[in-house]
Chains A and B, each alone.
Chain A
Amino acid sequence: MDDLLREFVTETNESLDVVDVELVRFEQDPNNAKILDNIFRLVHTIKGTCGFLSLPRLEALAHAAETLMGKFRDGWPATHDAVTLVLATIDRIKEILESLERGEGEPEGADNDLIAQLERMVESSGPQHAIGTLTPQVLERPLRPGENSLDELERAFRETPVDPPTPKPAKPAPADSPTKDDDSGKGAGQSIRVAVDTLEHLMTMVSELVLTRNQLLEIVRCHDDSEFKTPLQRLSNVTAELQEGVMKTRMQPIGNAWQKFPRIVRDLSNELGKQIDLEMQGAETELDRQVLDLIKDPLTHMVRNSADHGLETPQERAAAGKPSHGSIRLSAYHEGGYVIIQIADDGRGLDTARIKAKAVSQGLVSDAEIEKLSEAQIHKFIFAPGFSTAAKITSVSGRGVGMDVVRNNIDQIGGTIDVKSIAGVGLSFTIKIPLTLAIIAALIVEAGGNRYAIPQLSVVELVRARSGSEHRIERIKDTTVLRLRDKLLPLARLSDLLGGQSTGDVESGFIVVTQVGSQTFGIVVDAVFHTEEIVVKPMSSKLRHIAMFSGNTILGDGSVIMIIDPNGASQALGSTITSQMAAAETVHPAATTEQSTSLLVFRAGSSQLKAVPLSLITRLEEIDVRKIELSNDRHMLQYRGQLMPLISMDKAVIVKGEGAQPLLVFSDGSRSMALVVDEIVDIVEDRLDIQVASENAGVLGSAIIKGQATEIIDVGHFLPLAFEDWFRSKEQPAQRRTRSVLLIDDSPFFRNMLTPVLQAAGYEVTVTGSAQEALAILNDGRAFDVAITDIEMPDMDGFEFAEAVRADGRIAELPIIALSSLVSAEAVERGRRVGFHDYVAKFDRQGLIAALKEQTDVGRAA
């Protein structure tokens, strides 16, 4: 592509962006001749240049669009359809430009469709104009001799044949700013176009200059009476100013990223039948070019989201007593080294209930846990991978790639995003991003004899831990943790994370308390030097795969050091420490290959630890014992407007005489019961592996939980103690035919837990402990309405079982529901392939019952 053409493409792209914005403005403000002139001139320039560069397709399109706009200028009303058509033409021009940019030349094809439409529009809008804008003009005095009436003048003017547009002498694209006539435009000749490479090179050279200056300063510092001192001082100042100046050249107003929004919003409001006002504040706020590029797409995505999901239709708005026009407000401002960008709409806000349901069904959090989360915490789930709150997928958004992508992009540039939503009032996102990626504040530390930089943004505090001080380092087997105020932080030596040998004692080092997302951990380093503004340089492609580093930089003394990526450190840490901390982390999908289960550990009746799967518990309560009442020889509690029976684990557990009584509340539908315990010890995440089965009613068996023998409680035993008909009543109509279920699970715990649940739901349950056994039962000719199988089982797993069933002609139609703690997209996909009808997370009782109902109903219908 020759230079002239490249120049043309760049120039035209910019002009078209302006035309986009201006046209939308013009449509709203059709009497502003200035805007129209500006548009007209830009399109005209494009047309002229195309002719010069012999680009016939572009020229024809531009010409047709110009003709229509010429009519606007003659006073024809800018109808909605006409503007839409011109915008469509501009899109076509952009497509052709893209192909030119790729060096492919003008693509084959014709634009007769658009041109014909444009021409038709030109012809058809003729009569409208006479009605639309020509108002009889009255002169408020008699005509003087020689004067013509205004109407006559007008007629004469209009009847004079207009010269065909003279071919404009072809000229290269003008160098001045295309917006010079615009009210807000900057003066012409104030800016020139410079290749980005040139600026990048300048930046590099300035960094080099800064380094050299620093070296000189270092030398002069050693010689007190050096005659170099004064000139060096001057050099130093000039260098600092130069650096600042060059940094400025990289800055661009954020408005550049917003430029396309008016057009996008206009198109969306058409498509969605909504009325949307777009307000933009602080478009002049500047930030680094590189950062700007990276947030462009996330911002676009969020504006689309607001328009599509956030704002209601005019009818809905009217019903809610809101103005029919919805508004989307974008604002940007600087705040101490950061740029804050807000995107707010006055729509319906986030649907908390739907997010909850989705989070639970995706296995991000259990039923019990979500009850404990605040609304704001629940809203944060929209950033989880693959999470889309849109109930229906529209062409605009809701394809499942949503806010998680936005969050990723923002994470990448070291920014943060926060969401605030008030139901019915609106939704606002606040994004905080660093002004520039090129220069960041970093803490310089030493580990294993090398220095490293840790980005200041993720450093929370520095702690020096000594055995005597309040911040103690403790050990859980080989894992070291820091007791910091009321929290336990996992610790790792930086040199260990970097694959070096463990040198020295953890206690001799400094602890850099680092936060990444919701995770906080301590990095132990040998020494901490100072904070420094460092110029981030990209890593060599041979080193880019190392997750621990995000880049490298040159320090003031000229040496190169690596920049630690806190994300990478957190991942590396996760693989070296045990999951002690993971349980404390609120919401992380269990990504471990071993099935781990959240367990509530408590004491009741004896010092022996007892545990129950957390997901079975609806709520943990501590209530004043004075509220406990005795009725019919049973302890009762007025709880949420109902009488809730309190059940003791065994006779040794006595309801306390005074103070607060801890309770585990279990609910099912509208009923609740509470288990009285002495003390709630902890919530832990561990593999549930019942090693010794129990003879005692109410205890499933014993398991080792976090190194301690713990009794696992059989909740199913206690529920009927509260309500005898707990498992029987339900909503099961008696006349309903009992459906039979084959349950396959190698874990006795789950078999024991699920059997009563399924029976309660009105199913006849046959239980087996392995897939082979199940196949044998099926081969015996016993018929089942549905099979429920675990995935992870020894010998033959759930996938293989499903394959075997599908391969057997007699039973191939049996619906199979997979039950797994391993709910990943791949597993679900594999499940679909082998023929699972449904995929339910373990512990999701409601989900399982719903899936069962669906499958057996389908079976009946078929």
Chain B
Amino acid sequence: MSTENTGQSLKEYVTAMIGGQLFGLPILRVQDVFIPERLTQVPLAPPEIAGVLNLRGRIVTLIDMGGRLGLGSRDGAAPLMAIGVESRGESYGLLVDSVGEVLKLDDNAREPNPINLDPRLARVSTGIYRLEGQLLMGVDVDRILDIGVKAIAA
């Protein structure tokens, strides 16, 4: 669920840049941040899957966030950082351009998605925060990982 700590108004987010846009992932879902190395590409996989790699003995599936969110696929450019998350006992790495600081944000300051938001973004967004100088989009990890069926059907 995206709303851990519903009792508190302050929520902590790990921030990340993807295609020039700042995103925030709920810190409780983030396992670690790592530099992806020795990425193995998987033929026939959905396009959002960048590949798999070995992270301390676990096989991690990497999601190309740029492609997933419609912000431009990296297309072979060297991945910079990956945010490790877990879902249903499986490990995933979300490929991002860079990882920033951890921000504590007031849940009350969260604003709903603008109605003209790109549907690919709107699907994963939990709301927009106005920071100084830029906007941060909170994202729901489970919805990001909800690829598979649709991608396979395509």
Interface contact B57-A208, CB-CB below 8 Å: yes
Q: In this complex, what residue of B is CB-closest to A500?
A: B43
Write the nearest CB–CB distance from A438 to chain B, whole angstroms.
Answer: 14
Interface contact A499-B54, CB-CB below 8 Å: no
In the docked arrangement, what's the CA distance between A270 and B35, Å? 66
Interface contact A540-B41, CB-CB below 8 Å: no
Interface contact A559-B59, CB-CB below 8 Å: no
Decide if B42 is an interface residue (CB 8 Å cutoff): yes
Decide if A179 is an interface residue (CB 8 Å cutoff): no
Interface contact B57-A542, CB-CB below 8 Å: no
| Number of B residues, CB within 8 Å of A | 24
Interface contact A543-B54, CB-CB below 8 Å: no
> Which stretch of B13-21, B44-52, B123-131 is in the interface?
B44-52
When distances are taken between beta carbons in the complex, the residues of chain B under 8 Å from A545 are: 148, 152
When distances are taken between beta carbons in the complex, the residues of chain A under 8 Å from B49 are: 542-543
Interface contact B59-A554, CB-CB below 8 Å: yes
Closest CB pairs A-B (n = 6): A208-B57, A498-B43, A540-B61, A560-B40, A560-B52, A559-B38
Q: In this complex, what residue of B is CB-closest to A449?
A: B41
Q: Given that A204-B58, A207-B57, A560-B59 are contacting pairs, would A540 and B90 also be in contact in the complex, using a CB cutoff of 8 Å? A: yes
Interface contact A548-B54, CB-CB below 8 Å: no
When distances are taken between beta carbons in the complex, the residues of chain A under 8 Å from B58 are: 204
Interface contact A543-B57, CB-CB below 8 Å: no
When distances are taken between beta carbons in the complex, the residues of chain B under 8 Å from A499 are: 43-44
In the docked arrangement, what's the CA distance between A537 and B92, Å? 15
Write the nearest CB–CB distance from B57 to chain A, whole angstroms.
Answer: 3
Write the nearest CB–CB distance from A80 to chain B, whole angstroms.
Answer: 49
Interface contact B44-A548, CB-CB below 8 Å: yes
Decide if A552 is an interface residue (CB 8 Å cutoff): yes
Known: A205-B57, A558-B54, A560-B54. 4 other contacts (CB 8 A): A208-B57, A499-B44, A541-B88, A546-B44
Write the nearest CB–CB distance from A293 to chain B, whole angstroms.
Answer: 18
In the docked arrangement, what's the CA distance between A498 and B88, Å? 28
Q: Given that A207-B57, A554-B54 are contacting pairs, would A543 and B42 also be in contact in the complex, using a CB cutoff of 8 Å? A: yes
In the docked arrangement, what's the CA distance between A558 and B55, Å? 9
Find residues 556-584 in chain A having any chain B CB closer than 8 Å to their own CB: 558-562
Decide if A230 is an interface residue (CB 8 Å cutoff): no
Find residues 471-530 in chain A having any chain B CB closer than 8 Å to their own CB: 498-500
In the docked arrangement, what's the CA distance between A208 and B58, Å? 8
Interface contact A558-B38, CB-CB below 8 Å: yes
Find residues 39-88 in chain B having any chain A CB closer than 8 Å to their own CB: 40-46, 49, 52-54, 56-59, 61, 88
Q: Which of B43, B56, B147 contacts A450 (CB 8 A)?
A: B43
When distances are taken between beta carbons in the complex, the residues of chain A under 8 Å from B44 are: 498-499, 546, 548
Interface contact A208-B56, CB-CB below 8 Å: yes
A/B interface sample: 5 pairs, CB < 8 A: A204-B58, A450-B40, A450-B41, A549-B42, A561-B40
Which of B43, B52, B61, B92 lies at the interface centre, i.e. has the most chain A CB atoms within 10 A of its CB?
Answer: B43
Q: In this complex, what residue of B is CB-closest to A548?
A: B44
In the docked arrangement, what's the CA distance between A548 and B43, Å? 9
Contact with B along A226-263 (1 / 0, CB 8 A): 00000000000000000000000000000000000000
When distances are taken between beta carbons in the complex, the residues of chain B under 8 Å from A207 are: 57
Interface contact A540-B52, CB-CB below 8 Å: yes
Q: In this complex, what residue of A is CB-closest to B90?
A: A540
Q: Which of B41, B53, B54, B61 contacts A542 (CB 8 A)?
A: B61
Interface contact B59-A552, CB-CB below 8 Å: yes
In the docked arrangement, what's the CA distance between A755 and B129, Å? 81
Write the nearest CB–CB distance from A823 to chain B, whole angstroms.
Answer: 30
Interface contact B148-A542, CB-CB below 8 Å: yes
Interface contact A542-B43, CB-CB below 8 Å: no
Q: In this complex, what residue of A is CB-closest to B43?
A: A498
When distances are taken between beta carbons in the complex, the residues of chain B under 8 Å from A448 are: 43
Write the nearest CB–CB distance from B151 to chain A, whole angstroms.
Answer: 8
In the docked arrangement, what's the CA distance between A540 and B52, Å? 9
Q: In this complex, what residue of A is CB-closest to B89?
A: A541
In the docked arrangement, what's the CA distance between A207 and B58, Å? 10
Q: In this complex, what residue of B is CB-closest to A537?
A: B59
Write the nearest CB–CB distance from A458 to chain B, whole angstroms.
Answer: 19
Contact with A along B112-154 (1 / 0, CB 8 A): 0000000000000000000000000000000001011000100
Decide if A417 is an interface residue (CB 8 Å cutoff): no
Q: In this complex, what residue of A is CB-closest to B63?
A: A542
Q: Given that A498-B44, A543-B45 are contacting pairs, would A204 and B57 also be in contact in the complex, using a CB cutoff of 8 Å? A: yes
In the docked arrangement, what's the CA distance between A420 and B57, Å? 44
Write the nearest CB–CB distance from B140 to chain A, whole angstroms.
Answer: 17
Interface contact A546-B40, CB-CB below 8 Å: no
When distances are taken between beta carbons in the complex, the residues of chain A under 8 Å from B148 are: 541-542, 545
When distances are taken between beta carbons in the complex, the residues of chain B under 8 Å from A211 are: 54, 57
In the docked arrangement, what's the CA distance between A814 and B44, Å? 52
Q: In this complex, what residue of A is CB-closest to B46?
A: A542
In the docked arrangement, what's the CA distance between A27 and B75, Å? 72
When distances are taken between beta carbons in the complex, the residues of chain A under 8 Å from B41 are: 450
Q: In this complex, what residue of B is CB-closest to A559?
A: B38
Write the nearest CB–CB distance from A206 to chain B, whole angstroms.
Answer: 9
Write the nearest CB–CB distance from A123 to chain B, whole angstroms.
Answer: 55
Q: Given that A541-B148, A542-B148, A552-B52 are contacting pairs, would A562 and B42 also be in contact in the complex, using a CB cutoff of 8 Å? A: yes
In the docked arrangement, what's the CA distance between A540 and B53, Å? 12
Write the nearest CB–CB distance from A607 to chain B, whole angstroms.
Answer: 47
Q: In this complex, what residue of B is CB-closest to A535?
A: B57
When distances are taken between beta carbons in the complex, the residues of chain A under 8 Å from B52 are: 540, 543, 552, 560, 562
Q: Given that A537-B59, A545-B152 are contacting pairs, would A562 and B46 also be in contact in the complex, using a CB cutoff of 8 Å? A: no
Find residues 431-465 in chain A having any chain B CB closer than 8 Å to their own CB: 448, 450
Q: In this complex, what residue of A is CB-closest to B38?
A: A559
Q: In this complex, what residue of B is CB-closest to A204?
A: B57
When distances are taken between beta carbons in the complex, the residues of chain A under 8 Å from B43 are: 448, 450, 498-500, 548, 562
In the docked arrangement, what's the CA distance between A620 and B90, Å? 59
In the docked arrangement, what's the CA distance between A217 and B115, Å? 58
Q: In this complex, what residue of A is CB-closest to B148?
A: A542
Q: In this complex, what residue of A is CB-closest to B152?
A: A545
When distances are taken between beta carbons in the complex, the residues of chain B under 8 Å from A559 are: 38, 40, 53-54
Q: In this complex, what residue of A is CB-closest to B91?
A: A540
Interface contact A541-B90, CB-CB below 8 Å: yes
In the docked arrangement, what's the CA distance between A707 and B92, Å? 52
In the docked arrangement, what's the CA distance between A685 and B46, Å? 36
When distances are taken between beta carbons in the complex, the residues of chain A under 8 Å from B54 are: 211, 554, 558-560
Interface contact A546-B45, CB-CB below 8 Å: yes
Q: Which of A204, A542, A562 contacts B40 (CB 8 A)?
A: A562
Q: Which of A208, A450, A560, A562 contacts B53 (CB 8 A)?
A: A560
Q: Given that A450-B43, A499-B43 are contacting pairs, would A540 and B59 also be in contact in the complex, using a CB cutoff of 8 Å? A: yes
Q: In this complex, what residue of A is CB-closest to B53?
A: A560
Write the nearest CB–CB distance from B54 to chain A, whole angstroms.
Answer: 5
In the docked arrangement, what's the CA distance between A450 and B43, Å? 10
Write the nearest CB–CB distance from A218 to chain B, whole angstroms.
Answer: 14
Q: In this complex, what residue of A is CB-closest to B48?
A: A542
In the docked arrangement, what's the CA distance between A545 and B92, Å? 17
In the docked arrangement, what's the CA distance between A560 and B41, Å? 9
Q: In this complex, what residue of B is CB-closest to A540?
A: B61
When distances are taken between beta carbons in the complex, the residues of chain B under 8 Å from A543 are: 42, 45, 49, 52, 61
When distances are taken between beta carbons in the complex, the residues of chain A under 8 Å from B90 are: 540-541
When distances are taken between beta carbons in the complex, the residues of chain A under 8 Å from B46 are: 542
In the docked arrangement, what's the CA distance between A549 and B41, Å? 13
In the docked arrangement, what's the CA distance between A498 and B43, Å? 6
In the docked arrangement, what's the CA distance between A204 and B38, Å? 20
When distances are taken between beta carbons in the complex, the residues of chain A under 8 Å from B56 are: 208
When distances are taken between beta carbons in the complex, the residues of chain B under 8 Å from A540 are: 52, 59, 61, 90, 92
